[in-house]
Amino acid sequence: DAGVIQSPRHEVTEMGQEVTLRCKPISGHDYLFWYRQTMMRGLELLIYFNNNVPIDDSGMPEDRFSAKMPNASFSTLKIQPSEPRDSAVYFCASSLGGARDTQYFGPGTRLTVL
Protein backbone atom coordinates (compact mmCIF):
# COMPACT_ATOMS: atom_id res chain seq x y z
CA ASP A 1 0.00 0.00 0.00
CA ALA A 2 1.21 3.52 -0.77
CA GLY A 3 0.28 4.80 2.67
CA VAL A 4 -1.58 8.02 3.33
CA ILE A 5 -1.18 10.47 0.45
CA GLN A 6 -1.36 14.22 0.86
CA SER A 7 -1.21 17.03 -1.66
CA PRO A 8 0.23 19.49 -2.17
CA ARG A 9 3.39 18.95 -0.13
CA HIS A 10 4.05 22.66 0.03
CA GLU A 11 1.68 25.57 -0.40
CA VAL A 12 2.54 29.25 -0.33
CA THR A 13 -0.34 31.68 -0.58
CA GLU A 14 -1.26 35.23 0.28
CA MET A 15 -3.50 36.30 3.09
CA GLY A 16 -7.15 36.20 2.11
CA GLN A 17 -6.79 33.43 -0.46
CA GLU A 18 -8.59 30.11 -0.29
CA VAL A 19 -6.46 27.06 0.43
CA THR A 20 -7.48 23.45 -0.14
CA LEU A 21 -5.48 20.55 1.24
CA ARG A 22 -6.13 17.01 0.04
CA CYS A 23 -5.79 13.57 1.58
CA LYS A 24 -6.18 10.00 0.39
CA PRO A 25 -6.32 7.57 3.34
CA ILE A 26 -5.09 3.98 3.35
CA SER A 27 -7.61 1.76 1.61
CA GLY A 28 -9.90 0.01 4.07
CA HIS A 29 -9.32 2.43 6.93
CA ASP A 30 -12.61 3.69 8.36
CA TYR A 31 -11.20 6.63 10.31
CA LEU A 32 -9.56 9.76 8.95
CA PHE A 33 -7.96 12.47 11.07
CA TRP A 34 -6.72 15.99 10.26
CA TYR A 35 -3.98 17.45 12.48
CA ARG A 36 -2.07 20.72 12.56
CA GLN A 37 1.51 20.98 13.84
CA THR A 38 3.21 24.20 14.93
CA MET A 39 6.23 24.93 17.09
CA MET A 40 4.08 26.72 19.65
CA ARG A 41 1.19 24.26 19.99
CA GLY A 42 2.64 20.96 18.79
CA LEU A 43 0.39 18.43 17.09
CA GLU A 44 -3.32 19.20 17.47
CA LEU A 45 -6.34 17.28 16.25
CA LEU A 46 -8.62 19.43 14.12
CA ILE A 47 -11.36 17.00 13.06
CA TYR A 48 -11.93 13.31 12.49
CA PHE A 49 -14.28 11.24 10.35
CA ASN A 50 -15.68 7.75 10.74
CA ASN A 51 -17.05 6.14 7.58
CA ASN A 52 -16.97 9.54 5.86
CA VAL A 53 -19.06 11.20 8.60
CA PRO A 54 -17.52 14.01 10.71
CA ILE A 55 -17.54 12.88 14.33
CA ASP A 56 -15.70 15.58 16.23
CA ASP A 57 -14.74 18.98 14.83
CA SER A 58 -14.13 20.67 18.18
CA GLY A 59 -10.49 21.26 17.24
CA MET A 60 -11.32 23.32 14.17
CA PRO A 61 -10.07 26.76 15.17
CA GLU A 62 -12.59 28.96 13.37
CA ASP A 63 -15.38 28.99 10.83
CA ARG A 64 -12.74 29.76 8.23
CA PHE A 65 -11.80 26.08 8.43
CA SER A 66 -13.96 23.37 6.90
CA ALA A 67 -13.40 19.70 6.09
CA LYS A 68 -15.24 17.22 3.91
CA MET A 69 -15.01 13.56 3.09
CA PRO A 70 -17.17 12.89 0.03
CA ASN A 71 -16.09 9.25 -0.19
CA ALA A 72 -13.90 6.67 1.55
CA SER A 73 -10.81 7.53 -0.45
CA PHE A 74 -10.72 11.32 -0.37
CA SER A 75 -10.90 14.18 2.09
CA THR A 76 -10.27 17.92 1.89
CA LEU A 77 -9.42 20.58 4.45
CA LYS A 78 -10.25 24.08 3.29
CA ILE A 79 -9.26 27.42 4.75
CA GLN A 80 -11.12 30.46 3.49
CA PRO A 81 -9.93 33.15 3.87
CA SER A 82 -6.42 32.19 4.93
CA GLU A 83 -4.42 34.23 7.48
CA PRO A 84 -0.69 34.26 8.35
CA ARG A 85 -1.40 32.53 11.68
CA ASP A 86 -2.67 29.51 9.73
CA SER A 87 0.91 28.81 8.64
CA ALA A 88 1.73 25.30 9.88
CA VAL A 89 2.21 21.74 8.75
CA TYR A 90 -1.09 19.94 8.24
CA PHE A 91 -1.16 16.17 8.57
CA CYS A 92 -3.76 13.66 7.57
CA ALA A 93 -3.83 10.25 9.28
CA SER A 94 -6.00 7.17 8.95
CA SER A 95 -6.71 4.12 11.08
CA LEU A 96 -8.83 0.98 11.10
CA GLY A 97 -10.45 1.42 14.48
CA GLY A 98 -10.35 4.99 15.75
CA ALA A 99 -7.95 6.56 18.23
CA ARG A 100 -7.26 3.27 20.07
CA ASP A 101 -5.90 1.83 16.87
CA THR A 102 -2.65 2.80 15.19
CA GLN A 103 -2.91 5.98 13.17
CA TYR A 104 -0.79 6.15 10.04
CA PHE A 105 0.27 9.63 9.08
CA GLY A 106 0.83 11.17 5.68
CA PRO A 107 3.89 13.26 4.81
CA GLY A 108 2.08 16.51 5.59
CA THR A 109 1.41 19.76 3.75
CA ARG A 110 3.56 22.72 4.76
CA LEU A 111 1.37 25.81 4.44
CA THR A 112 2.82 29.30 4.42
CA VAL A 113 0.43 32.25 4.34
CA LEU A 114 2.14 35.55 3.54
Q: Smallest distance from the beta carbon of 90 to other proteins, in angstroms?
A: 10
From the list 16-24, 64-72, 74-82, 93-101, the region that binds other proteins by CB under 8 A is 93-101
* Shorter beta-carbon distance to other proteins: residue 17 or 27: 27
**What span, in angstroms and rounded, lies between the C-alpha atoms of 99 and 110?**
24
**What span, in angstroms and rounded, lies between the C-alpha atoms of 23 and 19?**
14
Interaction mask 40-79, other proteins, x per CB under 8 A: --xxxx--x------xx-x---------------------
**What span, in angstroms and rounded, lies between the C-alpha atoms of 9 and 91?**
10
By the rule CB under 8 A, 4 interacts with other proteins: yes
Instruction: Report residue 66 CA to chain centroid gap.
Output: 10
The answer to whether the beta carbons of residues 93 and 101 sit under 8 Å apart is: no
Candidates 107, 111, 113, 114; binder of other proteins (CB under 8 A) is 107
Q: How distant, in Å, are the alpha carbons of 23, 26, 63, 93 from that of 107? A: 10, 13, 26, 9
Q: Smallest distance from the beta carbon of 99 to other proteins, in angstroms?
A: 5
Interface ranges with other proteins (CB under 8 A): 4, 33, 42-45, 48, 55-56, 58, 91, 93, 98-100, 102-108
